[in-house]
Structure 1
């Protein structure tokens, strides 16, 4: 029986990728690193900051990577002031609440970003469990963040559904054994399906989502 919905954040709850791209460009431009759509899709989306800065600034030290990451996240929070929840999210969260279904967040973002973004889109109090990068020793694509959320919720993977928009996030969700929807906010149907998505949806109004939810709630 369906007991929980577990959401990634960036590109899933909110289409924040353009703001992240802008923040990366602002911080890394002076270092001679060009951040375009190709670089963003291949080296940034769904990756941890540790991985991103090691890839984009290979000649810098780990401590320098950490400093750049802090600058980038601060720039993101400064720029991310007018975000809106993905279409249908408030209605989905209301439905989950009416059915007694828990809602959880699993993100590679730091807690400061999660707190900022959830507040901006008005859903900060809706999540029973929040797993951010500080809560785990390994971020996505490792399944540990999702396994941590399941443990905190006190449920098995078969009782939850995940929502992801990136290959690394999808790998993490599927590695934890979750039925997973691929969000088409940044990738094509083919790309996110190849990463393991069980179904794909454009937003939370998509009939494909509600067919599965109604089926699971009756199980």
Structure 2
């Protein structure tokens, strides 16, 4: 059993995956590269360091990777006011804390974006800590971010909650069980194949089913 609940932010607590997808589409187009939107969506959940070479190749990443990530930030900043919390987001954080978990948010987002979402969720009082892109050398599906989040709050073992296949893969590589919600647009089969031990349609459904997941009670 885990003592720490490590919760993804984008696509899990806030409805931002499609804004991220559009921002990346526009960022790549600045370099005269058109990536089909559906392909970008399939990579959302990766950090930019992983997403750029995944979608447009190592050569582009070496030549333009940092500039492309800066362009993505600019494009996402234009869309961020459209991001809303998912129903049940604060309730999930509060419920896990009441059940005795140490709750930490594991985001690879830019610090200014994470701050914005913390305010949107009014989540600071519900969490023991959170991460940003500054807290890991390699982002999901690397396990670094999850392991650093666990260390950041002094946890001994974690269970991860996310919305993408990349969250589940990162949890597996961190030797943690993972629970998934479909809020990121991935199918139950994809999430389970990536390693999620439980898949819920929504956060309210997950909250109602906590006792049948690794989030039932802390160790």
Q: TM-score range by the shorter chain?
A: 0.7 to 0.9
Structure 1 unmatched runs, 5+: none
After TM superposition, the structure 1 = structure 2 runs for residues 60-79 of structure 1, keeping only pairs within 5 Å, are 60=60, 62=62, 64-79=64-79
> Are the structure 2 counterparts of residues 62 and 115 from structure 1 closer, same or farther at C-alpha, using a change threshold of 3 Å?
farther
Any conservation in 2 of the 1:73–1:113 contact (CA below 8 Å)? no
**What SS class does the counterpart of residue 152 from structure 2 fall into?**
helix
Instruction: Give the aligned partner of residue 173 of structure 2.
Output: 175
After TM superposition, the structure 1 = structure 2 runs for residues 123-134 of structure 1, keeping only pairs within 5 Å, are 123-134=123-134
Instruction: Give the aligned partner of residue 41 of structure 1.
Output: 41
After TM superposition, the structure 1 = structure 2 runs for residues 68-107 of structure 1, keeping only pairs within 5 Å, are 68-107=68-107
Instruction: Give the aligned partner of residue 153 of structure 1.
Output: 153
Say yes or no: does 1:144 pair with 2:171: no
Say yes or no: does 1:121 pair with 2:131: no
**What SS class does the counterpart of residue 209 from structure 2 fall into?**
helix
**What SS class does the counterpart of residue 92 from structure 2 fall into?**
helix
2: distance between equivalents of 1:57 and 1:190?
26
1: distance between equivalents of 2:35 and 2:179?
28
**What SS class does the counterpart of residue 216 from structure 1 fall into?**
coil
Any conservation in 2 of the 1:143–1:172 contact (CA below 8 Å)? yes
Any conservation in 2 of the 1:138–1:145 contact (CA below 8 Å)? yes
Paired positions, count:
216
2: distance between equivalents of 1:69 and 1:215?
34
Say yes or no: does 1:211 pair with 2:208: no
Q: TM-score, normalised by structure 2?
A: 0.85
2: distance between equivalents of 1:130 and 1:197?
22
2: distance between equivalents of 1:190 and 1:25?
26
> Are the structure 2 counterparts of residues 125 and 71 from structure 1 closer, same or farther at C-alpha, using a change threshold of 3 Å?
farther
Structure 2 unmatched runs, 5+: none
**What SS class does the counterpart of residue 216 from structure 2 fall into?**
helix
Give CA-to-partner distance per residue, 1:139-174, whole Å, 9 cap, x none.
2212121111222222222xx321112222211112
Instruction: Give the aligned partner of residue 19 of structure 1.
Output: 19
1: distance between equivalents of 2:52 and 2:218?
45
Instruction: Give the aligned partner of residue 186 of structure 2.
Output: 187
Q: TM-score, normalised by structure 1?
A: 0.85
> Are the structure 2 counterparts of residues 64 and 101 from structure 1 closer, same or farther at C-alpha, using a change threshold of 3 Å?
same
